[in-house]
Structure 1
Amino acid sequence: MNLSTLHPPGRLIALAGAAILAATAVTVVDAPVASAATPDTNATYVFVNRHSGKAMDLWEWSTADNAPVNQFTRNDLAVQQWRFVSVGSGYYQVRSVHSGKVLEVPNASDGSFLVQNTSSSSNTRQQFRLADSDSGYVRFINRHSSKALDVWEWSTADGGRIAQFTDLNGWNQQWQLATVGSAPPPAGAWPTPTGQSAVNGTIPVSGVFDGGMRRYCCIGDGGQEESQDPMFELANGATLQNVIIGGPAGDGVHCAGSCTLRNVWWEDVGEDAATFRGSGSPTFLVDGGGARSASDKVFQHNGAGTLTIQNFQASNFGTFYRSCGNCSTQYRRNVVIRNVTLTRPGNTVAGINTNYGDTARFTGITIVNDSGRAMVICRKYTGNDDGDEPTQVGTGADSTNCLYSASDLTYR
Structure 2
Amino acid sequence: MTVSTIHPAGRGGRRRRVTALAGAALVATTALAVADAPAASAATPDTNATYVFVNRHSGKAMDLWEWSTADNAPVNQFARNDLAVQQWRFVSVGSGYYQVRSVHSGKVLQVPDANNGSFLVQATSSSSNTRQHFRLADSDSGYVRFINRHSNKALDVWEWSTADGGRIAQYDDLDGWNQQWQLATVGGTTPPPTGAWPTPTGQTAVNGTVAVSGTYDGGMRRFCCIGDGGQEEDQDPMFRLVNGATLQNVIIGAPAGDGVHCEGSCTLRNVWWEDVGEDAATFRGSGSPTFLVDGGGARSASDKVFQHNGAGTLTIQNFQASNFGTFYRSCGNCSTQYRRNVVIRNVTLTRPGNTVAGINTNYGDTARFTGVTIVNDSSRAMVICRKYTGNSSGNEPTQVGTGADGTNCFYSASDLTYR
> Do the structures match in fold with TM over 0.5?
yes
Aligned to 2:198: 191
1:375: which partner in 2? 382
Does structure 1 residue 289 correspond to structure 2 residue 332?
no
- Which residue of 2 is the match for residue 313 of structure 1? 320
Asked if 1 retains the 8 angstrom alpha-carbon contact of 2:52 and 2:186, the reply is: no
Percent identity over the alignment is 86
- Asked if the contact 2:194/2:348 (under 8 Å) is kept, the reply is no
Which residue type is aligned with residue 228 of structure 2?
D
Amino acid at match of 1:356: Y
Distance in 2 between residues matched to 1:345 and 1:252, nearest whole Å: 21
User: Residues 7 and 158 of structure 1 are in contact (CA less than 8 Å); yes or no, is this contact kept in structure 2?
Assistant: no
Taking structure 1 as reference, are residues 233 and 407 closer, same or farther at Cα in structure 2, changes over 3 Å only? same
1:390 to 374, 379, 397: 397
Q: After the TM superposition, which residues 258-277 of structure 1 pair with which residues of structure 2 at under 5 Å, given as runs?
A: 258-277=265-284
> 3-state DSSP class of the match of 1:216?
strand
* Contact in 1 for aligned 2:333/2:395 (Cα 8 Å): yes
Where do 5+ consecutive residues of structure 1 fail to align? 13-154, 161-185
Quote the Cα distance in structure 2 between the aligned partners of 1:157 and 1:291: 25
Aligned equivalent of 1:51: none
**C-alpha displacement of 1:300:** 0.1
CA deviation vs aligned residue, 1:189-241 (integer Å, no higher than 9, x gap):
10000110010100000000000100000000000111210000000000000
| Aligned counterpart, 1:364 | 371
Quote the Cα distance in structure 1 between the aligned partners of 2:353 and 2:414. Answer: 20
Contact 1:8 1:159 in 2 (8 A): no
> CA distance change for structure 1 residues 281 and 187 in 2, over 3 Å: closer, same or farther?
closer
Q: In the alignment, is the contact (CA less than 8 A) between 1:10 and 1:159 conserved in 2?
A: no
SS in 1 for 2:229: coil
Distance of 2:346 and 2:301 partners within structure 1: 20
Pick aligned residue for 1:202 from 206, 209, 219: 209
Question: Residue 309 of structure 2 corresponds to which residue in structure 1?
Answer: 302
Query: CA 1:10/1:327 → structure 2, altered by over 3 Å: closer, same or farther?
Result: closer
- The answer to whether the Cα contact below 8 Å between 2:206 and 2:223 also exists between their aligned partners in 1 is yes
Aligned twin of 2:258: 251
Alpha-carbon spacing, 1:200–1:339, altered in 2? closer, same or farther (3 Å): same
Which residue of 1 is the match for residue 236 of structure 2? 229
CA–CA separation in structure 2 for the residues paired with 1:197 and 1:350:
33
Q: Which residue of 2 aligns with 1:145?
A: none
In structure 2, the CA distance between the partners of 1:159 and 1:5, relative to structure 1 (3 Å rule), is farther
CA distance in 1, matches of 2:205, 2:224: 5
2:357 maps to 1:350: yes
Cα distance in 1 for partners of 2:225, 2:412 equals 40
Counterparts of 1:5-404 in structure 2 under 5 Å?
A: 187-404=194-411
| Contact 2:233-2:278 at 8 Å conserved across structures | yes
Larger Rg belongs to: 2
Which runs of 4 or more aligned residues in structure 1 lie more than 4 Å from their structure 2 counterparts after TM superposition?
2-12, 155-160
CA distance in 2, matches of 1:332, 1:326: 13
Map of 2:78 onto structure 1 = none
Q: Pairwise CA RMSD of aligned residues?
A: 2.6
Partner amino acid for 2:290? Answer: T
Deviation at 1:280, TM superposition (A): 0.1
- Where relative contact order (Cα < 8 A, 6+ residues apart) is larger, the structure is 1
Change (3 A) 1:202 1:393: same
Which one-letter code corresponds to 1:334 in the other structure? N
The alignment of Structure 1 onto Structure 2 pairs a total of residues equal to 247
| Alpha carbons of structure 1 residues 253 and 377: separation in structure 2 relative to 1, 3 Å | same
Question: What is the TM-score with the length of structure 1 in the denominator?
Answer: 0.57
Note the C-alpha offset of 1:188: 1.2
> Normalising by the residue count of structure 2, what TM-score does the alignment of the two structures yield?
0.56
Structure 2 stretches lacking a partner, 5+ long? 1-43, 55-184
Residues 330/209 of structure 1: CA separation in 2 closer, same or farther (3 Å cut): same
Which whole-Å CA distance do the structure 2 matches of 1:313 and 1:267 have between them?
12
Residue deviations 1:100-143, cap 9 Å, x none? xxxxxxxxxxxxxxxxxxxxxxxxxxxxxxxxxxxxxxxxxxxx
CA contact (8 A) 2:237 2:257 kept: yes
Of the three residues 399, 402, 406, the one matched with 2:413 is 406
SS at match of 1:355: helix
In the alignment, the residues of structure 2 paired with residue 6 and residue 371 of structure 1 have an alpha-carbon distance, to the nearest angstrom, of: 32
Q: Residues 5 and 244 of structure 1: is their aligned pair in 2 closer, same or farther, counting only changes over 3 Å?
A: farther
The secondary structure found in structure 1 opposite 2:414 is helix
The Cα shift of 1:10 comes to 10
Aligned to 1:400, the other structure's residue is in SS state coil
